[in-house]
Structure 1
Amino acid sequence: KVTWSPPEEGKLKCNINGACRGNPGMGSCGFCLRNHTGDLVFAKAKGIWMTTNMEAEALAIYEALSYFHGNGFRQVIIETDSLCLKRMILKQWRVPWEMVERIEKIRNRLQ
């Protein structure tokens, strides 16, 4: 059973996702930001170029981080359904060469 739980008061929770039709294929990515009561604060989604599922997931998290950075959000919990992406960002798994630049940009935004 999968459930969503709100963040503690004073924090926001961001859920991200990226996907493509085929792998590779035409992709899309997006994220939504909710507060401690579960109310939607902001959401964004967009279609993207020919890509892979992993690249779409990475672009979704980068887009979310860029939004937080540009709007002064600091207390944000990010949730993703991509264990691979999470482990690459945390330097627990090797990053494929074609993803190195995007993962580095994500790591820089996290700082």
Structure 2
Amino acid sequence: MGIGMRQEAPLHLIPKILSYKFHYQPGMLDEAVWKPTGSGDFSCATAWQICRQKKDSNNINSYIWHKHAAPIIVCWNLWKNRCAAKYGSKQSSITRVKFLITKDIYLLINTAYSYIQWPVTWHEMIKIIELCKQDIRIWQISWEKPTQNILKLNTDGSALNNPGKIGGGGILRDHKGELVYAFSIPFGNGSNNQAETLAASHGIEWCLQHGYKKILLEVDSELLVKWQHLTAKPPWQLQQSIQELINYTR
């Protein structure tokens, strides 16, 4: 195998390739994955992104297509109706422009505020926009101590952008709540889910290396819990990390 790879792969990568461990997952068939998507499924959109020739970023386009730029809706409808009147396809009027702007703004804010009922007048729309507020809810939570002779490991991970620079941290405490170990480390680049997984793996691995075997892992990621209990399939990029985490907990 090593002789054959010398003809296909760079010499400095051959030791790394030979040392790579494949984790067999019982009950799961091997399947090809499409790397540009998080799910591994092929999509025409990601294929187009690879094939097309990207141009340099344009500041004007970034202003026009900004997701919070509601004034662009006004400018767009004014320009569109001016062109329609100029080339004779439709007659432009103040009433028509106000209706189209009202409709577009409604469609925009309805994604965040679904309780708004249509139709509404222009003045009603303005009042609704001024009164819109995010629904912020606060829940009180508490940390419960583990039973005697068991340590509880709480981990979390995050990304500056998704994907982007990621990092994770964790706290290990005993049944009295006393601190045993804490960590906060960077993981390079990746997604939020990858950060959550790597933080949990690092914490469990540290515990096993230092002789702590009775560990209760507590995370705030519902996806990570489902992946670990095999009730959901993780993205292809995380399958090896999830399998390693499962092996640690057996």
**TM-score in terms of structure 2 length:** 0.43
Aligned length in residues: 111
User: Identity over the aligned pairs, expressed in percent?
Assistant: 28
Please give the alpha-carbon distance, in whole angstroms, between the structure 2 residues aligned to 1:22 and 1:80: 21
In the TM superposition, what whole-angstrom CA distance separates every residue of 1:67-101 from its partner, at most 9, and x where no partner exists? Answer: 11101111111100001001011100111111111
Which residue does the alignment assign to 2:238? Answer: 99
Who wins on radius of gyration, i.e. which is larger?
2
Match for 1:78: what amino acid? L
What are structure 1's unaligned runs of at least 5 residues?
Answer: none
Match for 2:226: what amino acid? R
Q: Does 1:6 align with 2:6?
A: no
- Name the structure where helix makes up a greater proportion of residues: 2
What are structure 2's unaligned runs of at least 5 residues?
Answer: 1-139
**Correspondence 1:67-106 to 2 at 5 A:** 67-106=206-245
Q: Does 1:59 align with 2:198?
A: yes
Per-residue deviation, 1:57: 0.4
Q: Does 1:41 align with 2:169?
A: no
Per-residue deviation, 1:25: 1.1
Please give the alpha-carbon distance, in whole angstroms, between the structure 1 residues aligned to 2:246 and 2:144: 25
Please give the alpha-carbon distance, in whole angstroms, between the structure 2 residues aligned to 1:37 and 1:109: 25
Per-residue deviation, 1:32: 0.8
SS of residue matched to 1:22: coil
Per-residue deviation, 1:63: 0.2
Cα RMSD of the aligned pairs, angstroms, is 0.9
- Name the structure where strand makes up a greater proportion of residues: 1
Larger RCO (CA within 8 A; separation ≥ 6): 1
Question: Which 4+ runs in 1 deviate beyond 4 A?
Answer: none
Please give the alpha-carbon distance, in whole angstroms, between the structure 1 residues aligned to 2:162 and 2:248: 27
Which residue does the alignment assign to 2:26? Answer: none
Per-residue deviation, 1:24: 0.6
Match for 1:43: what amino acid? A
**TM-score in terms of structure 1 length:** 0.95
